[in-house]
Amino acid sequence: MSPQEKILFSVFGFIVTIYLILDLGFFHKKAGVVKTKSAFLETFIWVFVSILFGVLIKFYVGTTQSYEFFTAYVTEYALSIDNIFVILLILRYFKINEAYYHHILFWGILGAIVFRAIFIFVGAYFIHKFHFILYIFGAFLLFTGIKMLFVKDVDDETNEFNPEDSFVLRVAKKYLHFSSEDHGNHFWIRDSSGRLVFTTLFMCLILIETTDLIFAVDSIPAVFGVSNNEFVVYTSNMFAVMGLRSMFFVLSSIIDKFYLLKKGLAIVLAFIGSKMLLDILDIKIDEKLSLLVILSTLAFSILLSIYIPQEQNEKKQKDNSLGN
């Protein structure tokens, strides 16, 4: 890192630390349902702070790094929306009281900060040592994007979702003692014999952390496709993740309406993968153009989802299949 990047990284660390202390120690000291209005305000604040940080990068580090930050931030934020949908399914599956959503997501975000830091800095180290890894990432993202775009998930067809099929959860159940009873917002308790017993909330936390790691397999290579600078990659990633929780409460009731967003994300992944592979031919895509393509793709997929409701789209596809 350059001296300027080290200073801004300290600023970033200060912002995150103060937020976590205030959030857990003051604003959400007691369990309670997070209102949409406060969640929207928190989301707005995080987006504003993220934009401000990107502007600071422009003036103190460089214009190129600033555009890379914003492109990486938008990419990670968009990919996180898909993550929100899975988290919501997990919480609904285990019938978790909405008053405990914030508590689970708070500790889930903390885990994401740690695990993603490991992923990013280890990934940056190997990319600097072995540049060809970027081309592997590019091929993986291109394949993933095409698969998401044209292959329909089995879960989409059957509407079946069983988090308990998770390998990590099965291993946890094998070696840990779990209780199916309601124990409030506790992740574990001691039973009458003094034995440590884990609750359903802890089960959800395991699944949310696992889900985040799975999504990181797509999102982190995608962000490396935008920038090789670990400072840009990590700060953009973390600003998006920190805003994820408040965004969850904003979108939890309407996320099903954006059914075409996944197709938009597929195009974004394929675009970034192609951008990485074009580097083999020494073809560079401007950072401004990359940001424009990603923003317009996501905006178009959201607007199209609103303009053409899912029920209308499914009816049209059914009529076309009957006609053929």
154 — pLDDT class (breaks 50, 70, 90): very low
**Which tokens hold the place of 296?**
């317009």
Rounded CA separation 103/106 (Å): 5
Q: What is the mean pLDDT of residues 85-107?
A: 78
Q: Helices (DSSP H) in 23-62: which residue ranges?
A: 36-60
Q: Is the pLDDT higher at 27 or at 9?
A: 9
Q: Is pTM, for the whole model, over 0.75?
A: no
Give the position of tokens 């950072």. 287
In the chain, pLDDT over 90 holds for what percent of residues?
4
Please check the confidence at residue 52 and state whether its pLDDT lies above 90.
yes
C-beta neighbour count of 103 within 10 angstroms:
21
What is the tens place of the pLDDT at every residue in 288-312?
A: 788 788 888 888 888 888 887 766 5
Each domain of the chain, given as residue ranges in start order, spans: 3-151+222-323
Rounded CA separation 73/39 (Å): 19
Q: Helices (DSSP H) in the chain: which residue ranges?
A: 3-22, 36-60, 63-93, 101-129, 133-150, 154-158, 167-175, 200-224, 230-251, 261-278, 287-307, 310-323
What is the pLDDT at residue 102?
Answer: 77
Among the listed residues 249, 227, 308, 271, the one whose alpha carbon sits nearest the alpha carbon of residue 62? 227
What is the pLDDT at residue 55?
Answer: 93
**Which tokens hold the place of 6?**
């080290």
In the chain, pLDDT over 70 holds for what percent of residues?
83
SS (HEC) of 164-220: HHCHHHHHHHHHCCECCCCCCCCCEEECCCCCEEECHHHHHHHHHHHHHHHHHHHHH
Rounded CA separation 144/141 (Å): 5
Q: What is the mean pLDDT of residues 277-295?
A: 80
Instruction: Give the lowest-confidence range in 109-118, 159-168, 257-266, 293-302.
Output: 159-168
| Phi/psi-derived region of residue 184, left when phi > 0, alpha when psi is between -120 and 50, beta in every other case | left
Among the listed residues 14, 84, 73, 16, the one whose alpha carbon sits nearest the alpha carbon of residue 47? 73
Q: What is the mean pLDDT of residues 124-152?
A: 80
What is the tens place of the pLDDT at every residue in 162-208?
A: 666 777 778 887 787 887 777 777 788 887 777 888 888 888 888 88
What is the pLDDT at residue 51?
Answer: 92
Please check the confidence at residue 314 and state whether its pLDDT lies above 80.
no
